[in-house]
Amino acid sequence: MISKHNSSDTASFVFSNHPVSRYKLLFYLSVQFILACVFSITASAQTITNSSPYSRYGIGDLSGKGFSQGFAMGGTNIAMQNDTTAMFFINSGNPASYSNIRLTTAEIGANFNRVNLESSDAKQAVNNASLAYFALAFPFKKWWVGSIGLVPYSSVGFKVTDHQDIENIGGVDFLYQGSGGINQVYFGNGIKPLYGLARRFMKSSRYEKLKEEKNYAKANRILKRKKSLESLSLGVNTSYMFGSFNNSRRAIFPYGSNYFNLNSITSTRVSDVYFDYGAQFSHTFDSVGHRELRDKVTLLLGATFSAQSNISAKIDSTSYTYFNNSLGYEIPKDTIQNLETAKGKIRFPMSFGFGLGIKKGDRWLVSADFAVQNWSNYAVFDQTQGLKNSMRVSLGGQYVPNSKANGKGTYYKRIHYRIGGRYAETMIELQNTQLTEYAFSVGAGFPLGRNFLMQNFSMVNIGFEAGQRGTITNGLIKEQFFKATLGFTINDRWFVKPKFD
């Protein structure tokens, strides 16, 4: 039997006040309200709960990296980076991408999930809605951009009953329940370490000598190569991981069997710092041989890495026997184990990924990701959990008919149309079956207007995903899920000193 477990969560943050002009007042007040709500909840260690029986393994279901734009493109994010013109998006999946943001950017999103759970003898539908993420990015320099945000890392939420007939005892119900999750508040930085290389070359004596010799072809080749090297970006996210997840296991014996029921409860609290790194590189082709391309083609490359990390944790564990009285209330009998605040480490796995993207002008974008996590080394207080290494492959595309279209009847040309798909071999192996997951997604980004004078831009991003995980063979559970996301992206120019004639 599969039991229903619904939940929702909220999340929010605090950011310092900043004097604003009248045209920015609404934008600032909205962001300030959201940030204040977020940090008020982080103080109480807010958790996120999903509804999957498979979230009982490891640290729960991992939340996908990146925000609503990449969600509709199969979750691709490793090579994804902004162009030099707005709209700018925040891609927390690869911190190197921050360095291409030119305006202060805010992102906020909400998710809706519906999961149909099916075993060999039962079906159950579960709905879940939550505030998914919030993030800000702000340029410090043309070569350095920072970002802060609150995003989920994993979620736990399940309630499953397993009925077994035991000789000399009878039918015994084993009830497994869990809730909670891990969140992360991150501060990320992306830099371009070779920024200004082309400008320095144009001021060099070598460039002047090439001009004197009228060797313009060689000078242009060198200049183009240095501009390409300038695109190299490096980044790091420094995250504070916090949250807790609770698991309980009940053994409920039949009435009159002379056995007391047993309940074992474990609460794990996580609190530590975690790092993940990224790199990106792009190269633009404006010609092939001696033929100039109509639309420039840009090759995007990306890589991400996080080392194996020992995260500080505390565990409380209690086991006790009980019986139910005639009114159905639980009456404790004896405490078998009571372990309070045992301190130790949870070994998070090493992970790495590679991404590839191809951009044609400002219309077409195709991206692909390959990522691996070494979950076989995952351990709680030096006890391995029998998990398997996981692998994910994602593919996505985006098409914008004409981002510069202006005039009546041309709005649809500025919409960002997105599609994608993904396949994963998960970290879970049950009954000699490693669970796989696949999903397909579609979505769109809707511009809300452009103010070129003030340089503020907004977009509403929607995405839908349908997929499946697991199987009903070998006594397992199949999940068929539908996910929807709604995200808001706001670009604006901050920290500009007013000038008067």
Tell me: the pLDDT tens digits for 452-469?
544 567 899 999 999 999
Comparing 294 with 47, which gets the higher pLDDT?
294
Mean pLDDT of all residues in the chain?
A: 84
pLDDT, position 428:
93
Domain-located, residue 136: yes
pLDDT, position 451:
52
pLDDT of 245 over the 80 cut: yes
Determine the Cα–Cα distance for residues 33 and 27; give it in Å rounded to an integer: 10
Q: Are 117 and 472 in contact (CB under 8 A)?
A: no
Determine the Cα–Cα distance for residues 29 and 25; give it in Å rounded to an integer: 6
Comparing 13 with 424, which gets the higher pLDDT?
424
What number of other Cβ atoms are within 10 A of residue 34's Cβ?
20
Residue 478 phi/psi, 5° resolution?
A: -100, 130
Classify the C-alpha dihedral 326-331-333-337 as positive or negative: positive
Query: Out of 132-141, 180-189, 335-344, which region has the weakest mean confidence (pLDDT)?
Result: 335-344
pLDDT, position 33:
44
pLDDT, position 8:
35
Residue environment code for 373-390, b if the CB has 16+ CB neighbours within 10 A, otherwise e: bbbeebbbeeeeeebbbb
Domain-located, residue 372: no
pLDDT, position 14:
32
At residue 298 the predicted structure's pLDDT band, cuts being 50, 70 and 90, is very high
Domain-located, residue 357: no
> Hey, what are 37's tokens?
């709500």
Domain-located, residue 146: yes
| DSSP secondary structure code for residue 53 in this structure | G
**199 Rama class: left (phi>0) / alpha (psi -120 to 50) / beta:** alpha
Comparing 27 with 196, which gets the higher pLDDT?
196
Domain-located, residue 487: yes
Domain-located, residue 460: yes
Per-residue pLDDT tens digits for 380-438:
998 988 999 999 999 999 999 988 887 777 889 999 999 999 999 999 998 888 999 99
pLDDT, position 290:
65
pLDDT, position 240:
96
> Hey, what are 211's tokens?
């001009």
Per-residue pLDDT tens digits for 429-450:
988 889 999 999 999 999 986 6
Domain-located, residue 117: yes
Determine the Cα–Cα distance for residues 269 and 284; give it in Å rounded to an integer: 47
At residue 26 the predicted structure's pLDDT band, cuts being 50, 70 and 90, is very low
pLDDT of 90 over the 90 cut: yes
Domain-located, residue 71: yes
At residue 42 the predicted structure's pLDDT band, cuts being 50, 70 and 90, is very low
Determine the Cα–Cα distance for residues 299 and 395; give it in Å rounded to an integer: 15
At residue 500 the predicted structure's pLDDT band, cuts being 50, 70 and 90, is low
For 186, counting Cβ atoms within 10 Å of its Cβ (0-12 exposed, 13-18 middle, 19+ buried), the class is buried
| DSSP secondary structure code for residue 72 in this structure | T
Comparing 19 with 288, which gets the higher pLDDT?
288
* Count of domains for the chain: 1
pLDDT of 171 over the 50 cut: yes
Query: What is the average per-residue pLDDT within 155-184?
Result: 87
pLDDT, position 5:
40
Residue 228 host element (H or E):
helix 216-230
Comparing 38 with 187, which gets the higher pLDDT?
187
Q: Domain of residue 245: give its range.
A: 7-192+231-280+306-351+445-492
Query: What is the average per-residue pLDDT within 239-250?
Result: 92
Q: Which amino acid is at 394?
A: S
